[in-house]
Structure 1
């Protein structure tokens, strides 16, 4: 069963990498640059904190905390425990090869950060959370289309992002109980 899922993951990755018109790759490069080192989310947090008043500061703090938790889980724990090669270089258009990371492809840390930030912002400021969520979907799609990740990498990155949100939302209750 695991080998069948792995094979489906590989076939879907190959299709997604090859799919789409040339302009989509140009947009993808801009999305990748914005998401690299979580620049997009830090910029969003700064903008919310400065322009959004108390609600903006609360949303920014929640987003950054969830993103940090997801980064630790994805890049600090899971990537170190599970090494997976990225999709084969021959599947990827030559213009996308120079930007491919050398680290384990599993899970997608970019997706984990995007989902965590967006998911934590949404309860505090739903409209901004929706905008961040749309940007997060673009980040996940770009990671697939560029050949940086397999679909399972992005899906698990999303799940880790949701775990980061859950940790941040549970933290006040756990602190009150003395569990943290």
Structure 2
């Protein structure tokens, strides 16, 4: 269920819509920051690091369930799902800490699921989380005219 919600970032788009709908101006700013950080994190993870750092997925023999046949063929390192989740969550937390805390629960679930499913090694997930943090930091350090939009 977590994997399905995290596919194509549906979970984070839904969270952004909910924050924008119920959070007033702060919710809208948090949603925009989260989606921006998610996009930056995905580009860093999937277009910059993955093509450079080829790593095979964990061996099927170490995954104790049948979901192992449903894994992607791309490089295992880093976890793009985790990068998107942590980038979104970290960027939201800067603007709306309570919403960031709520987002942290599914973000951790996404990271754990990526290892449990056999799609990633724990180090892939840790690198994805670090990339997400970098994405959030980047969004909050944008040039002043762009920063006014999300602050």
TM-score by length of 1: 0.78
Task: Determine whether 1:144 maps to 2:115.
Answer: yes
- Secondary structure (helix, strand or coil) at the match of 2:77 reads coil
Q: 2:24: which partner in 1?
A: 53
Matches within 5 A, 1:39-118: 39-118=10-89
Residues 46 and 84 (structure 1), Cα distance of their counterparts in 2 relative to 1, 3 Å cut: same
**Unaligned runs of at least 5 residues, structure 1:** 1-29
What is the CA deviation profile of residues 131-159 of structure 1, one whole-angstrom value per residue up to 9, with x for unaligned ones?
A: 10111111101111111101110111011
Residues 120 and 144 (structure 1), Cα distance of their counterparts in 2 relative to 1, 3 Å cut: same
Question: How far 1:96 moved relative to its partner?
Answer: 0.9
What is the CA deviation profile of residues 2-55 of structure 1, one whole-angstrom value per residue up to 9, with x for unaligned ones?
A: xxxxxxxxxxxxxxxxxxxxxxxxxxxx11111111110011011111221111
Q: 1:124 aligns with which of 64, 89, 95?
A: 95
TM-score by length of 2: 0.92
Residues 174 and 51 (structure 1), Cα distance of their counterparts in 2 relative to 1, 3 Å cut: closer
Task: Determine whether 1:154 maps to 2:125.
Answer: yes
CA distance in 2, matches of 1:116, 1:80: 20
Give the count of matched residue pairs. 147
CA distance in 1, matches of 2:145, 2:72: 37
CA distance in 1, matches of 2:27, 2:80: 25
**Unaligned runs of at least 5 residues, structure 2:** none
Question: How far 1:99 moved relative to its partner?
Answer: 2.3
Task: Determine whether 1:33 maps to 2:12.
Answer: no
Residues 52 and 175 (structure 1), Cα distance of their counterparts in 2 relative to 1, 3 Å cut: closer
